């Protein structure tokens, strides 16, 4: 077993346990904190795959913004220090079955893909992965169109948010 | 390799040789040596942190026309150790309703988020933890951990003041992150690199000259990120008593305090690396280890600047603070980024590159101030009917 495999197995184990805690813990803020552990695990996996940029963006966006907003929303809407309602309702076994079926289906689908059993090729030393990524994002042969479309979508979301929050003059 | 050109690497190689000589696997030896290196770096930084307490108290004393600690040891240098002993022997208090695990974890994560920043700080030409090619983004990502620790502390304390402090700090951090990222993008644009060491290497002319406005933006947003006056609304002792660390006692409070000081010093180091040429200085080519000295001097100047700001300015209100960010700093930073990128592209190959960049920055600042002056004059004319209680000074 190589060192990378050991790192992967440990990360995966931590992620699985934390993901299980996210759905079973009764305290919503704790659930959000466990979710952060899961997101960190994802960042570690990206890092082991030589995708340093995506790993760091994962931390900045998911932990720095989204998870913190989750916690914020939970803290503002509920009295979480006292409330410990049941985390599960009667339909829990149904969702468990669906999750297992999804997992099985995905595994079955991916088994047909030839990249499933390959190891990641080693990057040549001195390879500028972030430079290559940024080139790809703005080059017409690669991803410039999806990139710009995504930007326009975000801009539209921004304009929408401003419109909803905007107070017209004289209107209180 | 000559020992003095890179003593740290020489020591590391020697240690690896010793370990493999004992029959240890070469990879394991490498990991072990790297681990020892990290441990050493953290130890040095933490010892430095102890003396930062003394420095901080001396600085604040000077600004408030006092002498500061002067009883224990020469110049009061033993004072921080007395402080630490006092903190350690304090009772460890858990208030009722505290979420113990999160409560204990918060100061640790706070300290961790500061120490993680040192991983990418280049202390000397060959002395850095790792030269990440996404160093600038990494710094922002680690800052998110600091925010997280403040939320954890505020929520787990089961105290309304702590929670309010955490809310404020999160609002501030999430909003001031934007001008900070943009201010850090400007050195990235100028150097064409995102690794911190690469940016330092590219600074043949210090970026304080090429982009003084980016430096100002970074200084302001860093002050907010650090939660220091005039942006220390998370502590705001007159309204929130102490904010997120209100319920902490003993060494756990000490960790928060130490983390704040070290965070400030680290940001001094970041300012040094991004705008003051990091380890660059005279005779660094001949003796690379001299870079460490230059870096520490520059970082100390940055640290002193944060102290200067903290003890000179008054705390501002939370809504004013968010207004300042969203209505002024964010738009200005975006325009400035485009402006600097454009000027950089235009002037890069000319003879008056540094001078042109500096003057264009000054011009940009002047135009911004002029627009602001017009605007405020118009606002004032609107309320001219009212007689001012105190005549405004400007």
* Disruptive mutation site among A44, A53, A64, A134 for chain B (greatest number of B CBs within 10 Å): A64
The DSSP-derived string for B303-366 is HHHHHHHHHHSPP--HHHHHHIIIIIIHHHHHHHHHHHHHHHHHHTTSTTHHHHHHHHHHHHHH
Alpha-carbon distances, residue B315 vs B2, B263, B354 (angstroms): 52, 20, 36
Question: Angle at Cα B332 formed by Cα B327 and Cα B336, nearest 5°?
Answer: 165
Reference B146, options B50, B36, B60, B222; nearest CA is: B222
Mutation target to probe the A interface, by most A beta carbons within 10 A, among B148, B152, B331, B341 is: B148
Q: Which residues in chain A touch residue B147, judged by CB atoms under 8 angstroms apart?
A: 64, 68
Contact between chains at A130 and B194 (C-beta distance less than 8 A):
yes
What whole-number distance in Å separates Cα of residue B222 and Cα of residue B218? 6
Mutate to test the interface with A, among B108, B133, B194 (most CBs of A within 10 A): B133
In terms of CA atoms, which chain B residue is nearest residue A61? B141
A81 touches chain B (CB under 8 A): yes
| A7 part of contact set with chain B, CB < 8 Å | no
Residue A14 clears pLDDT 90, i.e. is over it: yes
What pLDDT score does B231 carry? Answer: 81
User: What pLDDT, on a 0 to 100 scale, did the predictor assign at position B1?
Assistant: 47
Window from A12-16, A51-55, A71-75, B209-213 with minimum mean pLDDT: A71-75
| pLDDT band for position A149 (cuts 50, 70, 90) | very high
Give the chain A residue whose CA is nearest to the CA of B144.
Answer: A64
Do residue A81 and residue B99 have CB atoms under 8 angstroms apart?
Answer: yes
The chain B residue lying nearest A51, using CA atoms, is: B134
Chain A residues close to B174, C-beta within 8 Å: 65, 68
- pLDDT of A13 over the 70 cut: yes
How many angstroms separate the CA of residue A142 from the nearest CA in chain B? 21
Contact B276, B263 (CB under 8 A): no
Q: B97: alpha, beta or left, given left = phi > 0 and alpha = psi -120 to 50?
A: left
Could you tell me the pLDDT band of residue A85, with boundaries at 50, 70 and 90? low
Is the Cβ pair B151, A60 closer than 8 Å? no
Does B134 contact A130 at a Cβ distance shorter than 8 Å? yes
pLDDT in tens, chain B (394 residues): 456 667 777 777 787 788 778 877 777 777 888 888 888 888 988 888 888 888 888 888 888 888 878 887 788 788 888 888 888 888 888 888 788 888 888 889 889 889 888 888 888 777 777 777 788 888 888 888 888 888 888 888 888 888 888 888 888 888 888 898 899 888 888 888 888 888 888 888 888 888 888 899 999 998 888 878 788 777 777 777 777 888 888 888 888 888 888 889 999 998 988 888 878 878 777 777 788 888 888 888 888 888 888 888 888 888 888 888 888 889 899 999 998 888 888 888 877 888 888 888 888 889 989 998 888 888 888 776 665 556 555 5
Region A147-160: mean pLDDT is 92
Taking the CA atoms of chain B, what radius of gyration do you get in angstroms? 23
Model confidence at A170, pLDDT cuts 50, 70, 90, reads low
User: CB under 8 Å to B360, separation ≥6 — which residues?
Assistant: B339, B343, B347
**Chain A within 8 Å of B151 (Cβ-Cβ)?**
yes
Half-sphere exposure of A126 (CA within 13 A, CB side): 0
Q: What are phi and psi of A60, to 5 degrees?
A: -65, -50
pLDDT interval class at A154 (50, 70, 90): very high
- So what's the pLDDT on residue A116? 73
Contact between chains at A33 and B97 (C-beta distance less than 8 A): no
Of B129, B126, B121, the C-alpha closest to B10 is B126
Q: Which of residues 129-148 of A touch B (CB under 8 A)?
A: 129-130
What pLDDT score was predicted for residue B356? 81
What token pair was written down for B367? Answer: 């135009």
Alpha-carbon distance of B148 to B113, in angstroms, equals: 10
Q: Tell whether B388 is within 8 A of chain A (Cβ).
A: no
Contacts of B41 (CB under 8 A, 6+ apart): B118, B129
CB-CB under 8 Å, A75 with B134: no
Kindly tell me if the per-residue pLDDT of A1 is higher than 70: no
pLDDT above 50 (res A161): yes
> So where are chain B's domains?
1-89, 92-381
Q: Which residues of B touch A77 (CB under 8 A)?
A: none
Q: Given A57, A65, A71, which is nearest B137 (Cβ)? A: A57
| Cβ within 8 Å, pair A56-B170 | no
Looking at residues A125-151, what average pLDDT do you find? Answer: 83
| Identity of the residue in A56, A75, A81 whose CB atom sits nearest the CB atom of B158 | A81
Residue A121 binned pLDDT confidence (cut-offs 50, 70, 90): confident
In the three-class reduction of DSSP (H, G, I as helix; E, B as strand; rest coil), residue B393 is classed as coil
Residue of B nearest to A34 (CA): B102
Check if B132 contacts A (Cβ < 8 Å). Answer: yes
Handedness of CA B156, B160, B163, B169 (dihedral sign): negative
**Closest Cα in chain B to A72:** B167
> Could you tell me the two tokens for B55?
């420095």
Three-class secondary structure of residue B124 per DSSP: strand
Q: Measured between CA atoms, how close is B283 to chain A, in angstroms?
A: 29
């Amino acid at each position: 077993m190589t060192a990378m495999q050991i790192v992967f197995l440990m990360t995966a184990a931590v992620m699985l346990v934390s993901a299980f805690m996210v759905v079973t813990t009764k305290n919503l803020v704790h659930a959000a904190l466990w979710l952060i552990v899961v997101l960190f695990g994802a960042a570690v996996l990206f890092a082991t795959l030589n995708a340093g940029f995506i790993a760091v963006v994962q931390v900045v966006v998911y932990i720095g913004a989204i998870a913190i907003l989750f916690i914020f929303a939970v803290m503002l809407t509920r009295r979480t220090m006292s409330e410990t309602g049941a985390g599960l309702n009667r339909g829990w076994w149904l969702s468990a079955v669906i999750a297992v079926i999804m997992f099985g289906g995905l595994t079955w689908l991916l088994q047909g893909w030839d990249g499933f059993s390959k190891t990641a090729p080693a990057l040549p030393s001195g390879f500028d992965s972030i430079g290559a990524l940024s080139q790809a994002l703005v080059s017409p042969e690669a991803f410039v169109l999806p990139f710009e479309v995504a930007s326009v979508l975000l801009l539209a979301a921004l304009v929408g948010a401003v419109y909803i929050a905007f107070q017209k003059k004289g209107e209180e | 390799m000559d020992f003095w050109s890179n003593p740290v690497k020489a020591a590391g190689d020697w240690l690896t040789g010793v370990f493999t000589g004992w029959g240890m696997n070469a990879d394991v030896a490498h990991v072990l040596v790297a681990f020892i290196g990290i441990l050493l770096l953290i130890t040095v930084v933490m010892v430095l942190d102890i003396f930062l307490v003394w420095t901080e108290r001396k600085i604040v004393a000077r600004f408030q026309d006092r002498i500061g600690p002067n009883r224990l040891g020469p110049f009061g240098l033993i004072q921080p150790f007395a402080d630490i002993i006092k903190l350690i022997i304090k009772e460890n208090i858990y208030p009722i309703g505290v979420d113990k695990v999160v409560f204990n974890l918060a100061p640790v994560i706070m300290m961790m988020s500061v120490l993680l920043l040192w991983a990418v700080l280049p202390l000397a030409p060959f002395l850095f933890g790792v030269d990440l090619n996404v160093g600038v983004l990494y710094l922002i990502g680690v800052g998110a951990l600091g925010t997280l620790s403040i939320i954890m502390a505020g929520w787990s304390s089961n105290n309304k003041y702590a929670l309010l402090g955490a809310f404020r700090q999160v609002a501030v951090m999430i909003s001031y992150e934007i001008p900070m990222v943009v201010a850090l993008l400007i050195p990235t644009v100028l150097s064409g690199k995102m690794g911190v060491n690469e940016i330092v290497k590219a600074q043949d002319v210090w970026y304080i000259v090429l982009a003084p406005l980016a430096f100002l933006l970074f200084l302001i947003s860093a002050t907010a990120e650090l939660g220091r006056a005039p942006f220390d609304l998370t502590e705001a002792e007159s309204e929130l008593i102490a904010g997120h660390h209100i319920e902490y006692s003993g060494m756990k409070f000490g960790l928060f305090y130490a983390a704040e000081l070290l965070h400030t010093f680290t940001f001094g180091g970041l300012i040094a690396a991004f705008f003051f040429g990091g380890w660059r200085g005279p005779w660094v080519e001949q003796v690379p280890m001299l870079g460490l000295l230059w870096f520490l001097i520059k970082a100390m100047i940055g640290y002193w600047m944060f102290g200067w700001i903290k003890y000179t300015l008054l705390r501002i209100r939370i809504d004013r603070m968010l207004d300042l960010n969203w209505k002024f700093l964010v738009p200005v930073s975006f325009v400035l980024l485009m402006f600097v990128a454009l000027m950089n592209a235009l002037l890069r190959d000319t003879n008056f590159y540094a001078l042109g960049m500096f003057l264009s920055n000054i011009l940009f600042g002047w135009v911004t101030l002029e627009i602001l002056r017009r605007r405020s004059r118009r606002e004032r004319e609107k309320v001219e009917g009212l007689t001012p209680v105190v005549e405004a000074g400007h």
